[in-house]
Amino acid sequence: MATALGFGRSKGVQSIANSTIETQYQYTKEWLADDRILCYRFMDLTPATLDHWAADLTEAFLNWPEVRPWRLMLDVRLGGGLVNAYALRHARKIAHMRPELPGRLAILVGSKLASDIISMAIRTTNNIYRQRRIFSNEAAAVNWLIEPSNLPGANNVSLQK
């Protein structure tokens, strides 16, 4: 697992969102890089926000076409806030769905402590079909998500829309 150095929101990065869906809860859902990356950006991690996000992500994950690699970015920078145990439980449950689907998960964090907490959670969820990395720079996360993968089964899927 790799982490990027330097924390905080990226400055000067142009929006690469193809579409943004506002929700009534404290997160947005975006499709990035020609709809190849599903991105969630959180404003808070309250139980209500997390419950609705988990339901939305579960639906997206279960309906993800097998011919496309799973590409997900979670922006939990929250102005330097921390991820809580409730969020980690939801994420762990979803991570165990469709274990055969190859893919990548990029997590954007705003502090070294947030990176350490998420790193510990990632290490407890093994899946040879999925790679997970922590970033503080959005452009680096997107670049990593769209580059070709060497995961088992990744040669059977395409990065095309």
Q: Which of 30, 7, 29, 5 is nearest to 17 (CA)?
A: 30
Domain boundaries, the chain: 17-150
pLDDT recorded at residue 20: 67
Instruction: Tell me how far apart the alpha carbons of residues 96 and 111 are, in angstroms, rounded to a whole number.
Output: 26
pTM higher than the cut 0.85: no
Quick one: 17-150 is in which CATH superfamily? STAS domain (3.30.750.24)
| pLDDT at residue 30, rounded to an integer | 94
* Ordered per-residue pLDDT tens for the chain, 161 residues: 333 333 333 333 334 556 666 667 789 999 999 999 999 999 988 899 999 999 999 999 999 998 889 999 999 998 556 788 898 888 888 888 888 889 999 999 988 888 888 887 777 666 677 898 999 899 999 999 999 877 655 443 333 33
Bridge partners (DSSP) listed for residue 96: none
Residue corresponding to tokens 């009534």: 24
Residue 44: CB atoms within 10 A of its CB come to 12
Secondary element (H or E) of residue 104: strand 103-108
Instruction: Look at residue 113 in the predicted model and tell me its pLDDT.
Output: 85
Only one residue has tokens 């769905």, namely: 97
H or E, element range at 48: helix 47-62
- Return the structure tokens found at 49: 């926000």
pLDDT of residue 95: 82
